Amino acid sequence: LELPHLSFFAGAKIPSSIPPERVPEVAFVGRSNVGKSSLINALADTTIVRTSNKPGLTRQINFYAASRIFNMIDMPGYGFAYVKEEELIQWGKLIETYITMRTTLKKIYVIIDARHGIKLADVNFLEMLDKKDVKFQIVLTKCDMVIPPDLARRYVVVKKKLNQYKNANEEPLMVSARKKAGILNLRKEILQTVEA
């Protein structure tokens, strides 16, 4: 199972540069360094996002077209330790505009490091998604770094935490970009989401 060919078509640093709505979209977000770029590349099965190009520094939303069928959106990471207040406000405005206005946005995949679980920066983001009525699903990544019994426990804890959110998909997904585990399953999930 493969996704349609993905190609970059727009980057938005400010709300007015967000491209017009055309096709269904899914977006990826997470704390800086969580493994978002690696995951998007694994899904695409090619390097479309440079992992050295740290999104914590380039605060823009990147739009990738999947053969005009749907779009995959790479959102700038949050929870970066050293950002200027000014930058944070700009990030907030951009993200908030995108997620509140975007009628074509079907789901946000919130990427969580399987070693760390849901942190405060994640909670803040999830609460915003709930408030804005945006559907989301948790993707636990770097699962190769956690031994199976700990991973099983982590999964249960995360799943339980999701009860408090009305817009959360109740099933967290588990992946490893490095070992290419869970990638087919996530592709399938994405295709179902954009076709729904």
Q: Is residue 55 at the binding interface for ligand GDP, with CB under 6 A as the rule? A: yes
Asked if 193 interacts with ligand GDP (CB under 6 A), we say no
Alpha-helix runs per DSSP H in the chain? 36-44, 85-101, 120-131, 148-161, 183-195
* Stretch near ligand GDP under the rule CB under 6 A, chosen from 15-23, 65-73, 78-86, 139-147: 139-147
- Closest C-alpha to 31, from 189, 171, 142, 178: 142
Contact stretch for ligand GDP (CB under 6 A) within 94-102, 141-149, 161-169, 184-192: 141-149
Q: Does 45 bind ligand GDP (CB under 6 A)?
A: no
Is residue 1 within 8 A of residue 184, CB to CB? The reply is yes
36 by Cβ neighbours in 10 Å (0-12 / 13-18 / 19+) ranks as: buried
Binding of residue 38 to ligand GDP (CB under 6 A)? yes
Residue 61 phi/psi, 5° resolution? -90, 125
- Alpha-carbon gap, residue 107 to 148, rounded angstroms: 28
Work out whether 72 is an interface residue with ligand GDP (CB under 6 A). no
* The only residue of 3, 63, 73, 77 in contact with ligand GDP, by rule CB under 6 A: 77
158 scored as a contact of ligand GDP (CB under 6 A): no
Residue 78's SS3 state is strand
Q: How many residues bind ligand GDP (CB under 6 A)?
A: 18
Read off the amino acid at residue 43. L
Cα–Cα distance measured from residue 132 to residue 13, given in angstroms and rounded to the nearest whole number = 21
Site for ligand GDP in 159-188 (CB under 6 A): 176-178
Contact residue for ligand GDP among 87, 144, 159, 167 (CB under 6 A): 144
Rounded least distance, CB 71 to ligand GDP, Å: 18
Cβ atoms within 10 A of the Cβ of 166, count? Answer: 10
34 is an interface residue for ligand GDP by CB under 6 A? yes
Q: Binding residues for ligand GDP, per CB under 6 A?
A: 30, 32-38, 51, 55, 77, 141-142, 144-145, 176-178
